[in-house]
Amino acid sequence: MIERVGIVSIASVAILYRKTNPGEVFLDIKTPGYPLTAFVGMICPIGGNWIGDQAQADLNPLATWRREFEEEFTITTKVASLAETRLLGDDPKEEFYTTPRNLIIPSRTDLIDFTLLKHNLPLRAEPFGDFLVTVPKSVLDRNAPENRRPGYTALHPYWLVEVFEDEWRALVALHQKFGNLSCESQSVITSLPQIIAEGQLTCCGHDVVMREFFQQMGCANAEGYPMLEGITFEHRGMPLDSYDKYRAEYDITRTPFFNENK
């Protein structure tokens, strides 16, 4: 019998990129209040964890990513909960929070563009790979003397979402008008040259996959992508089509079904 790999959780994320120029991407930035304070200010692909009551209906990581995108992508002010981070073992100071945005009433055109993006983009997600990431406590302790969370190993299924040119223009216009399109982080539209020029770091080990994405897309200078030292990655193949298969291969500490884990 093959021994299952121990992981704390599965977090499904996606890189949204401009089809006509894959060097331009739509990501999140971890904002103050994020429990792993060592990662505050760092960029991150959009997505979230297979955890919590809402995740019980997720059949696979693609369903998790689509649910997370549905929950997070917004042009209005929404109250977000930190319950998920508590389930992962963090101890946030607040229970609920709202992310900053320009308080503007959406026009009819805004609502149409936003609704089309929210509907169409998740349908276009293509698998990129499963990556096992190990983040040691020494990384979590950097610039975070209050950190009490131990290091962890997690699995990240990654997806790629190409954004057509008319959609990209609509996405940029909405982002400029409302200032933020995420209820859980600060959304950002950036590019590989800008990331390199600013030395923008990427949280949670996602930098390995971001660099690989840009390399596969043939982006110039992709090898110069800023890397966060101390985190290790292992490519584990392509995403599986059911969480039953993941539970057969991995010993997952945190899932939507805590009682079954005990």
Which DSSP letter does residue 222 get? G
Indicate the SS3 state at residue 177: helix
Nearest to 78 by CA among 99, 58, 92: 99
Mean pLDDT of 44-67: 96
Beta bridge partners, 114, equal none
Report the pLDDT value the prediction gives residue 35, as an integer from 0 to 100. 78
Q: Which two tokens stand for residue 196?
A: 């390199």
Examine the pLDDT at 253 and tell me if it is beyond 90. Answer: yes
Q: What does the pLDDT read at residue 125?
A: 98
Least Cα distance to 106 among 50, 154, 42, 173 occurs for 173
- Identify the sign of the CA torsion 230, 184, 114, 193: negative
Select from 240, 46, 238, 246 the least CA-distant residue to 129: 238
Average pLDDT over residues 184-207: 96
Question: Comparing 66-70, 101-105, 170-174, 224-228, which segment has the lowest mean pLDDT?
Answer: 101-105
pLDDT digits (tens, 9 = 90+) for 85-97: 555 555 555 555 5
Please choose, from the candidates 147, 151, 148, the residue with its C-alpha nearest in 3D space to the C-alpha of residue 135.
151
Local structure of 98: helix, strand or coil: coil
DSSP 42: -
At residue 31 the predicted structure's pLDDT band, cuts being 50, 70 and 90, is confident
Instruction: Tell me the pTM.
Output: 0.90
- pLDDT for residue 32 is more than 90: no
User: What single DSSP character describes residue 73?
Assistant: B
Q: What is the pLDDT of residues 223-242, one digit of tens each?
A: 999 999 999 999 999 999 99
Q: Are 221 and 196 in contact (CB under 8 A)?
A: yes
Compute the chain's Rg from CA coordinates.
18
Domains of the chain listed by start with CATH number: 5-261 (3.90.79.10)
The per-residue pLDDT for range 143-157, each reduced to its tens digit, is 888 888 889 999 999
**Does residue 261 have a pLDDT over 50?**
no
Q: What's the mean per-residue pLDDT of the chain?
A: 90
